Structure 1
């Protein structure tokens, strides 16, 4: 499961922009074989007096944490590609906003600590995972 937690100050994203970004994120993961329902994007609006960068309140800021559970990068080069992909996905949504401070990080969490609807997800790339992706739903296996 990729979990994107997006903290932002007011006015950064409209409802439509949130939907477009969440869809774009999901489309990418689907292309690499993940079921769409694995992808979660959470938008949390934070007041400027509750978001600090460098010890100062931030009038326009975005901080994104991405948790990868279903797939992990195998080496430094793949981690760099992932960071560049995330950067490229976010830039069109964020770079044109004047005075915006934005950053992200990606964590890789053990899939041993992950369940969906009480089930351990099937191994990545397995026939069962492909069936889940086709059905876009969890099913016992």
Structure 2
């Protein structure tokens, strides 16, 4: 599952901005993952709780992306993914004068469940069903 956590100054994004960003992030994955796999969390951080280099700030956005459903091992694909992330975020952060940083963690697929189910392996009939139905369901895990 891709989980994006976006730590940002208070009032950096409107509710409409947040929905647009979440929809754009989801669109990156929807051709090969169930849409419900994509989680986006916005964390507004007050200036008194946001420090960069030991100094309070209100002009920085930190994005943490966690991948579980898929890993990106090819360096060219990694760069392509990072470039895509920048295209999504730039109009909302850099273009508005915010400094920003992003990193991606990858968690082992084997250490993941959804509603208590082990997710189906990539491109299996069960995963295709999860993607089509946009919800988890029981499947043969063999």
Do both share a fold (TM > 0.5)? yes
State whether structure 2 residue 51 is matched by structure 1 residue 56.
Answer: no
Is the 8 Å Cα contact of residues 93 and 99 (structure 2) preserved in structure 1? no
Task: Note the residue ranges of structure 1 that are not aligned, 5 or more in a row.
Answer: none
Is the 8 Å Cα contact of residues 26 and 39 (structure 1) preserved in structure 2? yes
Is the 8 Å Cα contact of residues 68 and 106 (structure 1) preserved in structure 2? yes
Is the 8 Å Cα contact of residues 48 and 60 (structure 1) preserved in structure 2? no
Matches of 2:53 and 2:42, distance apart in 1: 22
Q: In structure 1, what is the equivalent of residue 45 of structure 2?
A: 46
Shift of 1:83: 1.1
Q: Which string of whole-angstrom CA distances, capped at 9 and with x for unpartnered residues, describes residues 73-106 of structure 1?
A: 12222211111111111112212213x1211101
Report SS of the residue matched to 1:129: helix
- State the TM-score, normalized to the length of structure 1: 0.94
Report SS of the residue matched to 1:5: strand
Q: In structure 2, what is the equivalent of residue 78 of structure 1?
A: 77
Matches of 2:100 and 2:34, distance apart in 1: 28
Q: In structure 2, what is the equivalent of residue 16 of structure 1?
A: 16
Task: Report the number of matched residues.
Answer: 139
Is the 8 Å Cα contact of residues 49 and 56 (structure 2) preserved in structure 1? yes
Q: Which stretches of structure 1, 4 residues or longer, exceed 2 Å deviation after superposition?
A: none
- CA RMSD in angstroms, aligned pairs only: 1.0
Equivalent residue in structure 1 for 2:115, among 100, 114, 117? 117
